Amino acid sequence: MKVYIKQLGIYSIIALFFVLAACGPQEDSGEKAGGEQEGSKNSEYDLLVWEDVEKSEGIEDAIQKFEEENDVTIKVVEETYAQQIEKLRLDGPAGTGPDVLTMPNDQIGTAVIEGLIEELNVEEDITSIYTDVAMDSQIVEGKIYGLPKSVETTVLFYNKDIVSEDELPETLDDWYDLSKELTDGENFGLLALFDQIYYANSVLSGYGGYIFGEDENGDYDPSDIGLNNTGAIEGAELMQEFYTEKLFPSGIIGEQGIQVLDSLFSEGKAAAVISGPWNVEPFSDAGINYGVTKLPELSNGENMSSFNNVKSYNVSSYSENKELAERLVEFLANEENSKVRYEKTKEVPAVASLADDPAITENEAAEAVAEQSMYSEIMPGIPEMNSVWDPADAALETLATGKSSPEEALEQAVETIKGQIEANHGNDK
């Protein structure tokens, strides 16, 4: 079901506000906490947990307490969270996979269809502690398959030494005008990865484009793709102007674009960038005097949209100790341990009661992401979403390089997406 954050109250939204060092799009994997290599599951432990890279310190205390209270031994291994399902496909049947893993909500539907994760038998007193939007992301056809770990959404970082808070452009058109003044080949105004649907959807959606529509039940309808409608084309035309006017460096297009964007802002050569909470610490370490605010408004008066991503703890269907694994998931995601994890990793949980916690609310980035969350939507968690990423990115890249018009690029994207959905899911109907 498509759930828009703007339907929630502001106090619930603040709990969604951000994952300060969460999943950046580029993370390494495969290292165990403490530097050891992952080994096969054996009698040395009762549960194997796959935690995200550089995040295991956030659950150390909880793991130790759970071990003591239940007289069990738990092994924790760090794996890039976005790739854990792919790894589970191999390690699960081989008997070397985890009992508990963490994953992004857009992979939930695929994992359920493939039988990779287990349905959880959790009561309402447990699920009710989370914000509605976060909990809904874990439900497939009325069944619960995970508990929310943390959330994030994109925001705008700006260099206060280049553009002051008082002079901050309010609209994307204003940023376009300022970028024309500031760009000289070495220095730039606003930078964004508009050749990637994850970021470009903020503009496309703001003008009325959408990835999947809804059926009569309010569920995603993968046969209804709105990435090439009139609104989406209008948004694409605006984004293309940034490339046509050379307001973005050529290196920002393609796989290395994210490194170029991060580097230019970290070096003080970009006035602003659209990025995520994973860059709070790196930008701080770079010594940039930056501020954080919501994404700009569009010319139609709508605010730029953004995806709200939910990370969760889930139980592997291959686990030989599912009941214990489920109890551990409940324990790791409870209010107390969620707050501790935030304090150690800056991954902010979706526990609604933590909305008023000073550690969260008295933070400029928290306020910015809370506000942006009002205009955000949950990333589709159905299997067909896997057919969107590559075709959409490929089409947007032709738009960015000027090899096709916005209409041609988006038509090609939708055509390819529909073909892949039919090829991969045609027999699911």
Average pLDDT over residues 127-136: 90
Ramachandran assignment for 301, one of left (phi > 0), alpha (psi -120 to 50 degrees), beta (any other): left
Is the domain of 283 the same as that of 395? Answer: yes
pLDDT in tens, 169-221: 999 999 999 999 999 999 999 999 999 999 999 999 999 999 999 988 888 99
Whether 34 is in a domain gets the answer: no
Is the domain of 332 the same as that of 296? Answer: no
Is the domain of 298 the same as that of 405? Answer: yes
Distance CA 47, CA 324 (A): 8
Is the domain of 329 the same as that of 274? Answer: no
Band of residue 383 on the pLDDT scale cut at 50, 70, 90: confident
Q: Can you tell me whether residue 196 is helix, strand or coil?
A: coil
Question: Which of the 8 DSSP states describes residue 194?
Answer: T
Torsion sign across C-alpha atoms 35, 39, 43, 48: positive
Give me the percent of the chain exceeding a pLDDT of 70.
Answer: 90
Q: Can you tell me whether residue 65 is helix, strand or coil?
A: helix
Is the domain of 231 the same as that of 333? Answer: no
Distance CA 76, CA 89 (A): 19
Is the domain of 292 the same as that of 321? Answer: no
- Opening angle at CA 285, ends 150 and 26, nearest 5: 50
**Which of these, 125, 131, 128, lies nearest to 3 by C-alpha position?**
131
**Which of these, 341, 199, 381, 361, lies nearest to 273 by C-alpha position?**
199
Is the domain of 114 the same as that of 222? Answer: no
Per-residue confidence (pLDDT) for residue 24, from 0 to 100: 43
Overall residue count recorded for the chain in this entry: 429
Backbone φ and ψ for 281, nearest 5 degrees, come out as -70, -45
User: How distant is the alpha carbon of residue 115 from its chain centre?
Assistant: 23
Q: Is the pTM of this model over 0.95?
A: no
Is the domain of 291 the same as that of 193? Answer: yes
pLDDT in tens, 63-79: 999 999 999 999 999 99
Average per-residue pLDDT in the chain?
88
Domain that holds residue 110: 47-151+309-378
Whether 67 is in a domain gets the answer: yes
Is the domain of 249 the same as that of 178? Answer: yes
pLDDT in tens, 32-62: 343 343 444 557 899 999 999 999 999 999 9
Distance CA 40, CA 118 (A): 21
Q: Which of 121-125, 129-133, 325-329, 344-348 has the lowest mean pLDDT?
A: 344-348
Is the domain of 217 the same as that of 260? Answer: yes
Is the domain of 158 the same as that of 197? Answer: yes
Tell me how crowded residue 88 is: count the other CB atoms within 10 A of its CB.
24
Residue 230: pLDDT over 90? yes
Q: Which one is predicted more confidently, 100 or 13? A: 100
Band of residue 382 on the pLDDT scale cut at 50, 70, 90: confident
Q: Which one is predicted more confidently, 346 or 136? A: 136
**Which of these, 172, 162, 181, lies nearest to 200 by C-alpha position?**
172
Per-residue confidence (pLDDT) for residue 41, from 0 to 100: 52
Q: Which of 112-126, 283-297, 376-390 has the lowest mean pLDDT?
A: 376-390
Per-residue confidence (pLDDT) for residue 223, from 0 to 100: 95
Distance CA 264, CA 260 (A): 6
Is the domain of 370 the same as that of 387? Answer: no
Band of residue 238 on the pLDDT scale cut at 50, 70, 90: very high
Average pLDDT over residues 120-130: 95
Q: Which one is predicted more confidently, 23 or 158? A: 158
Per-residue confidence (pLDDT) for residue 365, from 0 to 100: 85
Whether 108 is in a domain gets the answer: yes
- Opening angle at CA 83, ends 79 and 87, nearest 5: 80
Kindly write down the DSSP assignment for every residue of 97-145, as one continuous string: S-SEEEEEGGGHHHHHHTT-BPPP---HHHHTTB-HHHHHTTEETTEE-
Distance CA 205, CA 304 (A): 8
Count of domains forming the chain:
2
Here the CATH number for the domain that contains residue 250 is: 3.40.190.10
